[in-house]
Structure 1
Amino acid sequence: MSASLTHPARRQLTMLNPLGLYDPSANGYSHVALVAPGASLICVAGQGGERADGSLPDSFEAQVRQALDNLRVALAAAGSHLHQVARLTVLVVDHDEARLRVLAEVLARAWGDAPKPACTLIPVPRLALDG
């Protein structure tokens, strides 16, 4: 998962789900993230499901949870947190509806009642690491 976000000191982020578009909340994202002019931007490299020792959890859900934990660590290093993420790009190997449900549930738990970031899910044949 990679993320773009506004810096906490200048947080100016608005999530929108305009009328005329379907409600994406069941899939864990918003259609539009509006970052105000002048807001600081932090760019985080893609975070996978690997633990600090490089090992991967066995299940897809555990890997998604670990990727979010890794994202939290990266954001904290920059003085930020998940609720300031404007946009996610999610790459999924062997994507299907079941994995979409898992991803949506994990994102819903992570963001709670707060607006979810704009998100693009891209099915891919593999990622950087095996597994």
Structure 2
Amino acid sequence: MTKRQPIYPAGRHALYDEHGYSPAIPAGAFLFVSGQVGSREDGTPHPDFEQQVRLAFENLKAVLAAAGATLDDIVDVTTFHTDPKTQFDTVLAVKQDYFPEKPYPTWTAIGVTWLSGFDFEIKVIARLPQAA
């Protein structure tokens, strides 16, 4: 079995080591990206929910870029929300800025009770451009 080769973005934050996970792992033609949150440089959540969502997307873009991929390479999205009923309109508005036109990736939204101090998390599966 080949050893996992993690992908780390520039400006890697402490959460990866603190919680013991890799930001992304390529496997064949795909990149499996761990849940990205709206963490500031020190690893703490941004206090403003919209900014937390935007930072999560920016952190996601940084991980994808480190693997040579972009948002256009995403095929599957899963998002986690601590209060979907009150947060979903904000998430949809931010999502529109990052995925402005069809075709959209598949998307599953899940309500959760805990995200280690965060209120939003996004994880994706993307195809690796160099594998295409």
TM-score scaled to structure 2, two decimals?
0.64
Q: Which residue of 2 aligns with 1:32?
A: none
1:53 maps to a residue whose letter is D
Secondary structure at 2:75 match in 1 = strand
Do residues 105 (structure 1) and 105 (structure 2) align? Answer: no
Q: Which residue of 2 aligns with 1:124?
A: 112
Residues paired across the two proteins, number: 92
Alignment partners' CA distance in 2, 1:130 and 1:72:
18
Contact 1:50 1:57 in 2 (8 A): yes
2:96 maps to a residue whose letter is A
Deviation of the 1:130 alpha carbon: 5.7
Please, what is the CA RMSD of the aligned residues?
Answer: 1.7
TM alignment of 1:40-79, pairs within 5 A: 40-79=29-68
Alignment partners' CA distance in 2, 1:59 and 1:95:
16
Q: Which residue of 2 aligns with 1:18?
A: none
Alignment partners' CA distance in 1, 2:99 and 2:74:
10
Structure 2 vs 1, CA of residues 51 and 69 (structure 1 numbering), >3 Å: closer, same or farther? same
Secondary structure at 2:36 match in 1 = coil
Contact 1:83 1:114 in 2 (8 A): no
Instruction: Return the match for 1:115 from 94, 103, 121.
Output: 103
- Where does the alignment leave 5 or more consecutive residues of structure 1 unmatched? 1-38
1:54 maps to a residue whose letter is G
Alignment partners' CA distance in 1, 2:46 and 2:101:
27
